[in-house]
Chain A
Amino acid sequence: MTDLKLVVQRFDPFADFKPRMMEYAVPKKDGMTVLDALLYARDYIDHSIAVRFSCRQASCGSCGMKINGRPRLACYTQVAELGGERVVAQPMDNFAIIKDLVTDLESFFAKHREMMPHLIRADREEQEKPSAEYLMKPEELERVLQFTYCIKCGLCTSSCPTAATDSRFPGPQALAQAFRYITDTRDEGGEERLALLDDAHGVWRCHFAGSCSYVCPKGVDPALGIQLLKRHVMSGKAEHGVGAKVFTAATTPPLEGK
């Protein structure tokens, strides 16, 4: 079986002046993913390659990187699907490099937290100690379901042209999550979030390039969420944000249910 030419961008900001590309010959196997190839190179050829990974099944979002020029999850990208005998692995754009393929996601998560990615109720005491389960109708769930699949891998932000130039832009992931909670019928914090988004560096800086949706490994469409979010911001209202607490015979108060 032929070897795969694995080209890895190497860079240690504390030791190197600029990034360099290093090539490794990795024996190909059926079903081999790019992460498998990188781990082979790290384990048997060069122990100093830095790569972040965890679940190996596209659930944790740790192994986001640029593979053959496109942001992808290394564990979810098979070598065979790329075609050719050469695979180039580089760190994601729009993030600072910690080392080699490992990028600093601190600001990414900070922007995610800014959007208050949790249900907010007007009655804060009720929020802390809910007296009953809050239910959604299936059609209400469908409106937000795809956005709940986000694994926070950062691929969307790394492909976003606005995130490349505007450091204060929240990015597609954070904006899509803001939309997810604003549209949730159980949430009452829509106005708080809309105030955050109606800023010179907020939702309006998305120019609808659509690359975020193109690269998402989970099929989320952040670009759609952002355009719908603009409508909420323009009207100043979270149209589905005022949720009703639904009591039914099947409702089990979570604190008493155990």
Chain B
Amino acid sequence: MRESRLMLLQYATALVAVVLVSIHLVMQGVVLPYSTAISFGNILSIYRNWIYAIFLEALLVVVLVHGFNGLRIILSELKQSRPWSTWIDIGTVVAVVVTVAYGTRTVILAVFA
């Protein structure tokens, strides 16, 4: 993928993440007291709300894509060689896929628990 497309993705995920993280913090710290928000029962009830489960999945994908793409940029500036760039690109894709899959597994297990 062209670097400009990856940077567009980086900017877009940053903007969406600001909105999603803000909503998440409000829901977890303002709507409910933090101690109540992180209780086991409340978390299960959140996951069983389909809208909130989709919201959490979106938050997971957006933050992980933004974070790992940012790490790719930092690492590519650290050292310059063709093999290094190739390994960084492969590592970024693998890291995003694995962590999104693991996070999604958690969401699915909680929804159907």
Distance in Å: Cβ of B85 to nearest Cβ of chain A: 6
Distance in Å: Cβ of A205 to nearest Cβ of chain B: 6
Chain A residues with CB under 8 Å of B76's CB are 166, 200-201, 205
Q: Is A199 an interface residue (CB 8 A)?
A: yes
For the side of the interface on A, what is the size category? 10 to 19
Number of interface residues, chain B, beta carbon within 8 A: 11
Chain B residues with CB under 8 Å of A162's CB are 77
Distance in Å: Cβ of B76 to nearest Cβ of chain A: 5
Distance in Å: Cβ of B53 to nearest Cβ of chain A: 34
B77–A198 CB distance below 8 A:
no
Chain B residues with CB under 8 Å of A169's CB are 77
A202–B3 CB distance below 8 A:
yes
CB nearest to A166 among chain B residues: B77
> B58-113: which have CB < 8 Å to A?
73, 76-78, 80, 85
Chain B residues with CB under 8 Å of A202's CB are 3
Which among A165, A200, A233 is the interface contact of B85 at CB below 8 angstroms? Answer: A200
> A29-74: which have CB < 8 Å to B?
none
Distance in Å: Cβ of A161 to nearest Cβ of chain B: 10
A198–B80 CB distance below 8 A:
no
B3–A204 CB distance below 8 A:
yes
A163 to B93, CA, bound (A): 27
CB nearest to A167 among chain B residues: B80
Contact bitstring A139-181, B, C-beta under 8 A = 1, else 0: 0000000000000000000000010011111000000000000
A199–B77 CB distance below 8 A:
no
B77–A165 CB distance below 8 A:
yes
Which among A166, A168, A200 is the interface contact of B3 at CB below 8 angstroms? Answer: A200
Distance in Å: Cβ of B105 to nearest Cβ of chain A: 32
Chain B residues with CB under 8 Å of A204's CB are 3-4, 7, 73
Distance in Å: Cβ of B83 to nearest Cβ of chain A: 13
A205 to B76, CA, bound (A): 9
A233 to B7, CA, bound (A): 11
A236–B4 CB distance below 8 A:
yes
B8–A234 CB distance below 8 A:
yes
B2–A166 CB distance below 8 A:
no
A199–B3 CB distance below 8 A:
yes
B8–A198 CB distance below 8 A:
no
A165 to B76, CA, bound (A): 10
B78–A198 CB distance below 8 A:
no
**Chain B contact residues, CB within 8 Å of chain A:** 2-4, 7-8, 73, 76-78, 80, 85
Known: A201-B80, A234-B4. 20 other contacts (CB 8 A): A165-B77, A166-B76, A166-B77, A167-B80, A168-B80, A169-B77, A198-B2, A198-B3, A198-B4, A199-B3, A200-B3, A200-B85, A201-B76, A204-B3, A204-B7, A205-B73, A205-B77, A233-B4, A234-B8, A236-B4
**Chain A contact residues, CB within 8 Å of chain B:** 162, 165-169, 198-202, 204-205, 233-234, 236
